[in-house]
Every structure is written in structure tokens, then in C-alpha cells.
Chain A
Amino acid sequence: MLSNIGNTLLFLNILLGISLIYFLFQDLGNKGKLISKNIYHICLFQSTLIIICFFTLIAAFVVSDFSIITVYQNSHSLKPFFYKISGTWGNHEGSLLLWAIILTIFSYFFLLYSKSHLRDYRIYSLIVQNILILGFLFFLLFNSNPFSVILPVPQEGLGLNPILQDPALAIHPPLLYIGFVGSSIYFSAAISSLLINYDGRLFAKSIKNWVLISWSFQTLGILAGSIWAYYELGWGGFWFWDPVENASLLPWFAMTALLHSLMVLEKRNLFYFWVIILCLLTFILSVTGTFLVRSGILNSVHTFANDPSRGLYILVFLSLMIFASVILLFNKFKKSNYNLNPNSKETFILVNNWFMIFYLITVLLGTIYPIFTEVLTDYKVSVGPPFYNSVIIPIVILFLFFMSLGPQTQWIKNNSYNLNLMIKILIASILINFAIIFLFKSYSLISNFIIISALFLIIYSLRDLYNLFKKKKIDASRIVSHFAFGALVLFIGLNHNFSLEKDFNLKKGEKREFENYSVKFNNLQLEEFKNYKAVIGEFEINNSQNNLSRTLYPEIRIYQSPSTITYEASIRSGLLKDYYITMSNIDRSDYYNIKFQKKPFMIWIWISVIFISLGGFLRLFKNAKKNY
């Protein structure tokens, strides 16, 4: 029943998409300034239908309609209500539907909020947008249909992978998809702008809020994924340079570059083609990421079921997008005259883009390099954290200095540098770094530079904030984001250097001592829960230095549906540090493998990222206030 409704709705949506493209082309020929009312109606209708379609799938998950394969494979009647709903987008088919629904709604919003712009520009944007929508709908209907039925109808579902039953992971895909899909708007707008040779400044105005929205949500989405990895995967890390994580980071780099160079386009009408390239690149990278993740050609923690036909479809879609963009760009590209002063805000923004592209190329290369070596030389290599850390980190130091100085400069031509101030702040940063080493512990040379440069950015931003309160003039959004980025690097640096990790085997009743800590394995018990059994350990952590005593309860969970064993970390979060214990059984022995970690400032890493994206939202609200 629900399957029929869903399929019908998908099919209707395809018809609507096709008719919308037809009417849009018709409307191009019409004279008059306004887009015909019909198009608004169709767009609204299209969005409504796809929302209903999505709710149909949610309903199927809620009532556990196991006649639908997607529900059968990813749900279970005993699953908590919340995870029945989040299970809707916790799988390949459902998440694609989520992608399509956001795409449709966004293109309707674009139609609504672009009224001040040229009619043809809006129409072409919508046409491109609807071609993208159709691409996804065809993919959904013919390859990854969330409403496919299974016969005979199973009595019970297979259940959602327990590690996906988690609040952070429930919100992770929607947040990330708003980022990914938001970039489709400026992809379409860029193509449209190329087609009709739209004015650069107006183009910048029309997409800047979309860039802000997608960037801010993308940042939060990456954060949610990272938090999930921290407490669910039980490894104590928060970033693994896993191909799937990289896939979400690549568009973020492009968006960040775009976010900055768009300001130059808007203020000075420079870098038009560069901005266009970034617009196209961002969405292309989003789809590339989807391709890499969904086709299963990369070995990653998250693997969706491996299915080459899926990969092939996305690859064809991707190639069409790339070729269309590149050929259009070739035809329209004109050499423009850059009137740039080396000492100006424009230059610093260019420098930002330079670094962003460097990060992008490094991460992209690292992610896809194993594919190339395997295909071309039949040689399998792993590119992991040590590669990214050793290539990227030294460059971050330089980046942070530019990031501190850039905002201090003026547009067109900067008059003077406050060299005195710069040196003072540099000395202050070095002194603070020195104090940290002196009071606590020394660390490597590169860490020294990282922490000094992060402090440099933080102090500069604080000074800007102080001036802001005095003058009430400068824009706080930039300061918040830059300050938070400095804080992020600082806390990651401190976290890295002051973490304590111990890996050892213990039997019940045994105790292990190291540095000032002792870990005692007090107790072990078996408990039954609604949908799993758990072996729960009780560990007492003592710190002899400050008489601290904590008890942690890591678990080994045995799930029946699907039958999986997960290792639940026990984490005591605090303002200054987290204590983190995971326990795993060693086969054929009474011993358990214990991982004990002390991770300083974890909370502050999360908070910094929230503030980075907050900067984006602040700018968005400011823009909204200005316009309406």
C-alpha cells in the first residue's frame, strides 16, 4: 500500500519536473518582467508532493511495513520510535530521497527569494536545478527505489546497525545534506549566469546567502559526524581522515574559499570567473563525494552496501555535470583585467583561496590516490592520518598568520600596517606558549609553532572584538568564526599533546598503574535490555596527584537484530578533560583489552566548531535584516 503511494508520488514528481522544464522554456519566450504564476504553482506542488513522499517512507518505517525492502533491511519492530524515524535516512535509498526533497524545496525557495533578479537568470537557474532534481528522481525510481517491495512479506525486519542508532548520527545526514544540496543552488546559478552573461555583482548578491547557509550547515554536519565518531566508534579520536569524512570536508574547503572570494566579487566586481569555478566545483565535489562513498570503491568505516550499478549511475551523472560545466566555461571564458594591489584585502582573500585550494587538492589526492595506484599499477596503498598530518599541518601555521592579518587590511589599498602591534601580539603568543611548556610539558617543534600561530590569531581576534565593542561598527560574524577557528586549532593542538593513552589487558580484580593514574577493574556484570544484552565493566580511576576518583562503565553490547557486537565507550566529560574507557573481550581468555584515555579540552573542540558555524549564521541574519 505505502509502497504504491510512494512510487506514484515519485513518478508524479518526475512528470512535474519535466513539465516544469517545459513551462520554464516557454516562459523564456514571453515578454514581461515577472515569471508566470504557473511556475510558482508547479514548484509549490512539486515540493509538497515530495514532502508527502518522504512522509510516506517515514510512515512505512514507523508502522514497520516490512513489505518494503528498505524498511525490512533497516528497521525492526522493537526499535525505539526515534530510531525508526531516523532510520529513514540512515540508509542509501532513504538518504537519497532526503537529498531529493531538500533539492526540491531549496529550488522553490530560490524562486521565492530571487525576485529582485533578472527574469532569464532565474529561469535558467531553475531549469538547471530541475535537471538536477530529475537526475536524482530517476536514480531513485530506477536504481535505488526506497519503495521496492519484497515478497513474501517478512515477519520481522533485520534492524538498523546499532552503531547508527544514535542521536548525533540521526541529525548528521540532514545537516550535511543541507550543505551539499545548498551548493546545488549556486551550481545552477553559476551555469545560468554564464549562459546569460549576468552581472558579477548581482550574481554574488543572489547566491551569497545560499553559500552562507550551506557553509554553516556543512560545518555543523561535519561536527555531528565527528562527535558521533568520538563516542560511538570507541577509538577516542574525532577525525580519522577516513574517505567518508574527507568526502564531507572537500566541499567545505571549496565553500570556504567561495565564501571569501564572493565578498570580493560583491564589493569590487573582481574574480568573476574564479567565483564561478568555485561554485561549480563545490557541487561537483559534493557529488564526487557521494560517488566515492556510495559506490563502495573505497575502503572506509562507513560502507553502504556495495553495488557497482549505483556507482555507475552517479558516475554518468557526475561526468555529464563536469563536461557541461567545463565546456560552457570554455566558451564563455574571457580574460578580465585585474586591478589588484598586493597590499589589500583582496590579496589576502586570494591568499585564503590559495590555501583552501591547497588543502582541497591534498585531501582529494589522498582520498583518491589508492584508486589510481590500484587501477594503474595493481598496487594497493593506504593513505591515512600520517600523510595528511605531515603535509597539511606545517602549512596551517602560515595560514593562521595570514588569517590574523588579512581582516586588518582595507579594500583596494591598505595604508599602513601596525607593525608594532603585530610584534607585541607575536611576543605575547610566544610567551603564552612558553608558559604552557614550562608549567606542564614540552612538545615537538611543529606543535610549538601551531600553538603560537593559533594564539596569534586568537589574540588578534580578541583585540578586534574589543574594538568592536568600543566602536560598534565592525561585523562580529567574521571575528567569531576566525576566533573560533584559532581556538579550534589551539585546542586540537593541546589535545594532541596532552592526551594520555594506555592500552593494556586486565582481568577482573586487577589493577594497572601508570604516571599518576591507576585503573582498577572492579566488577563485571551481564544485563539484559530491550533489544540487546550487555556486559558492563566497572572501572575505578584514581589520580594520586589530586585525589580524584572516577568510576566508568564501558560496555560490550550484543545485539540480536542484526546480530552485532558493539563496544560502548564510557566517557566522563569535563570542562578541562574527558576520561575515556573502552573494553573489549579477548577470545579464549579471562582478560579484557582496556583502552584508557585522558583527552583534554574535548568539549572545547566541539564548542569551537559550533562557534565557527555561528559566525556564518550571524552574517546570514545580518544580511536578512539588511534586505527586508
Chain B
Amino acid sequence: MKLKIIIYLILLNFNIVNAETNSIDSNNIFKNLRCLICQGQSVADSNSEFAQTIKLVVKDQIKNGKSESEIYDFLVEKYGEWIVYKPPFNKVNLLLWLLPYLAFVSGGVIIFLLFKKRFNN
């Protein structure tokens, strides 16, 4: 009974989430872009000439119906991967994306083995 209530409630949450409309948030994109001429600032945080230009271009591209990933791809093509704060999943960044999960899984395996050893003893 209780389990049913939980499942029902979670489903209810799901429904609301799905109802949300998908519009591209330009601010969110700015935050994911590095201001190349600043010290460790994102485009959203920077007041520099470069950041202001990038903001204009991104807004234009959104207006032209480009998707978020298309905008990132365009900028990566022009400025290299250094400009996006989320490194694309490719050969060079493979370890970056896989190692944390690998560490997580192996941690779990180690703990599991500790118990297994105990039962064998």
C-alpha cells in the first residue's frame, strides 16, 4: 500500500516535470562559456568587450533557431574546446568522464569484497 503511494507520488512529480516547456535560456549558455580574455570568468560573469560580443552572437543564434549544442559546436569550432566549460565527450576527454564513475564503481566493489571475505572466513 505504502509503496503504491510512493510510486504514485513520484509519478505525479514526473508529470509536472514533463509539462515544463523547453525554451533555451541564454543566461545558462553564457555561464557555460569561458571568457577567453579574463581570469577564470565565464561570459555571464564578465564585463569585457569579448564577453559582450559573445552574448550578442549567442542571442542572435538563439533567435535563428539554433539549438544549445549547435551554438556550443559553432564556438568550439572557432575558439577551440577551451571556450566551453563542459568538455565534449571525445577521445581526449574520455578519462575525464569515465574515471569518476570507474572510481565510484570500484569503491563499491571493494566494500562488497570486504564483506564477502568475511563470510568466507
A residues contacting B by CB (< 8 A) are 233-235, 237, 240, 242-243, 299-301, 303, 337-342, 347, 350-351, 354, 357-358, 361-362, 365-366, 369, 373, 377, 379-387, 390-391, 395, 423, 426-427, 430-431, 433-434, 437, 442-445, 448, 501-503, 567, 584-587, 593
Contacts and interface: CB of A to CB of B under 8 A. Distances in A.
Contacts of B85: 382-387
Given A385-B85, A501-B27, A366 B96 contact: yes
Contacts of A386: 32, 85-86
18 contacts: A301-B39, A301-B41, A337-B121, A350-B111, A350-B114, A358-B100, A358-B104, A358-B107, A369-B93, A381-B93, A382-B85, A383-B87, A384-B42, A423-B3, A427-B2, A430-B13, A434-B9, A593-B47
Contacts, number: 148
Contacts of B52: 586, 593
Given A240-B42, A299-B40, 11 more contacts: A235-B41, A339-B118, A361-B103, A369-B93, A381-B87, A384-B34, A386-B85, A434-B9, A437-B16, A442-B17, A442-B20
Interface in B46-85: 47, 49, 52, 55, 80-85
B31 to A, nearest CB: 7
Contact of A357 (B5, B55, B107): B107
Contacts of A351: 111
Contacts of A503: 26-27, 30, 44, 55
Which one of B45, B100, B111 has the highest number of Cβ atoms from chain A below 10 Å of its Cβ? B100
A384 B10 contact: no
Contacts of A501: 27
A373 B3 CA distance: 48
A381 B44 contact: no
B96 A383 contact: yes
Contacts of A427: 2, 5-6, 9
Interface string B85-118: 1110000110111011101100110110011011
Nearest to B104: A358
B100 A361 contact: yes
A303 B38 CA distance: 12
A348 to B, nearest CB: 11
Contact of B104 (A300, A303, A395, A431): A395
B100 A423 contact: no
Contacts of A433: 13
Contact of A430 (B6, B32, B47, B95): B6
Contacts of B121: 337
A540 to B, nearest CB: 22
A438 to B, nearest CB: 8
Nearest to A365: B99
Contact of B6 (A347, A423, A445): A423
Interface of B is mostly: helix
Interface of B: 2-3, 5-6, 9-10, 12-14, 16-17, 19-20, 26-27, 30-32, 34, 39-42, 44-45, 47, 49, 52, 55, 80-87, 92-93, 95-97, 99-101, 103-104, 107-108, 110-111, 114-115, 117-118, 121
A338 B114 contact: yes
Given A369-B96, A373-B92, A382 B16 contact: no
Contacts of B47: 567, 584-585, 593
Contacts of A357: 103, 107
A365 to B, nearest CB: 6
A226 to B, nearest CB: 15
B2 to A, nearest CB: 5
A423 B4 CA distance: 11
Contacts of A502: 27
A379 B81 contact: yes
Contacts of B80: 380
Contacts of B30: 503
B86 A442 contact: no
Contacts of B100: 358, 361-362, 365, 391
Given A365-B100, A501-B27, A379 B92 contact: yes
A381 B2 CA distance: 48
Given A365-B99, A444-B17, A586-B52, A382 B81 contact: yes
Contact of A587 (B49, B87, B93): B49
A390 B86 contact: yes
A382 B19 contact: no
Contacts of B108: 354
Which one of A381, A442, A586 has the highest number of Cβ atoms from chain B below 10 Å of its Cβ? A381
A300 B38 CA distance: 9
Contacts of A381: 81-82, 87, 92-93, 96
B33 to A, nearest CB: 9
A434 B2 contact: no
Contacts of B3: 423
A337 B96 CA distance: 35
B92 to A, nearest CB: 6
A373 B27 CA distance: 29
Contacts of A341: 118
B52 to A, nearest CB: 7
Contact of B117 (A237, A338, A437, A593): A338
Contacts of B34: 382, 384
